[in-house]
Structure 1
Amino acid sequence: MDILLSALFSSPEDEKYVLDCMAYFMILMAACTFVCLLFVDASYGRYASSKYGFLVNAKLAWFVQELPAFLVPVCLLMWASSAKSSLLANQLLIAMYLCHYTQRALIYPFLIRGGKPTPFLSFFLAVVFCTYNGYMQIRYLSHYADYPADWVTNPCFIAGSVLWLLGWLINLHSDHILRNLRRPGESGYKIPRGGMFEYVSAANYFGEITEWAGFALAGQSVHSAAFAIFTTVVLGSRAFSHHKWYLAKFEDYPKTRKALIPFLI
Structure 2
Amino acid sequence: MVGGEMTWLSSLLPAVLYPPPESAFVTAMCVVSFASLAFAGLSELRGDHMAYSKFWHVVSGQQKRSAATAGVLLSSRMGMLVAYVPALVAAAVSFAVPGAVQGQRAQILAAALAVHFLKRVLEVLFIHRYSGNMPLKTALSISSSYLLSTITMIYAQYLARGLPEPPTDLLYVGVLLFTVGIAGNFYHHYLLSKLRKGGNNENGYKIPKGGLFELVTCPHYLFEITGFFGFALISQTIYALAMASGTAVYLIGRSFATKRWYKSKFEDFPPRIKALVPYIL
**TM-score (norm. length: structure 2):** 0.78
5+ residue gaps, structure 2, are 1-20, 57-61
CA deviation profile, 1:101-130 (whole Å, cap 9, x unmatched): 11113x122123233311233212112112
Secondary structure class of the residue paired with 1:118: strand
Amino acid at match of 2:89: L
CA deviation profile, 1:11-53 (whole Å, cap 9, x unmatched): xx88x43233222221232343344334312221112135643
CA distance in 1, matches of 2:244, 2:165: 24
Structure 2 counterpart of 1:96: 112
**Alignment of 1:74 onto 2:92:** yes
Which of the numbers 50, 53, 69 marks the counterpart of 1:42?
A: 50
CA distance in 2, matches of 1:73, 1:169: 20
Structure 2 counterpart of 1:159: 173
Q: Is the 8 A contact 1:89 1:147 kept in 2?
A: no
Residues 150 and 29 from structure 1, CA distance in 2 versus in 1: closer, same or farther, beyond 3 angstroms?
closer
CA distance in 2, matches of 1:54, 1:234: 26
Q: Is the 8 A contact 2:94 2:110 kept in 1?
A: no
Moved over 4 A (4+): 147-151, 184-187
CA distance in 2, matches of 1:201, 1:255: 11
**Alignment of 1:170 onto 2:178:** no
Structure 2 counterpart of 1:9: none
5+ residue gaps, structure 1, are 1-12
CA distance in 1, matches of 2:207, 2:109: 35
Structure 1 counterpart of 2:30: 23
Secondary structure class of the residue paired with 1:104: helix
Structure 1 counterpart of 2:197: 183
**Alignment of 1:224 onto 2:231:** no
CA distance in 2, matches of 1:52, 1:233: 27
**Alignment of 1:234 onto 2:250:** yes
CA deviation profile, 1:73-118 (whole Å, cap 9, x unmatched): 323331x211x7231122122221111011113x122123233311
Secondary structure class of the residue paired with 2:153: helix
How big is the shift at 1:175? Answer: 0.6
Identity rate, percent? 26
Secondary structure class of the residue paired with 1:125: helix
CA distance in 2, matches of 1:36, 1:179: 26
How big is the shift at 1:147? Answer: 7.8
How big is the shift at 1:161? Answer: 2.2
Residues 44 and 156 from structure 1, CA distance in 2 versus in 1: closer, same or farther, beyond 3 angstroms?
same
CA distance in 1, matches of 2:207, 2:38: 32
Secondary structure class of the residue paired with 2:37: helix
**Alignment of 1:252 onto 2:259:** no
Amino acid at match of 1:81: P
CA distance in 2, matches of 1:185, 1:35: 31
Q: Is the 8 A contact 1:172 1:204 kept in 2?
A: yes
Secondary structure class of the residue paired with 2:195: coil
CA distance in 1, matches of 2:161, 2:276: 34
RMSD: 2.7
**TM-score (norm. length: structure 1):** 0.82
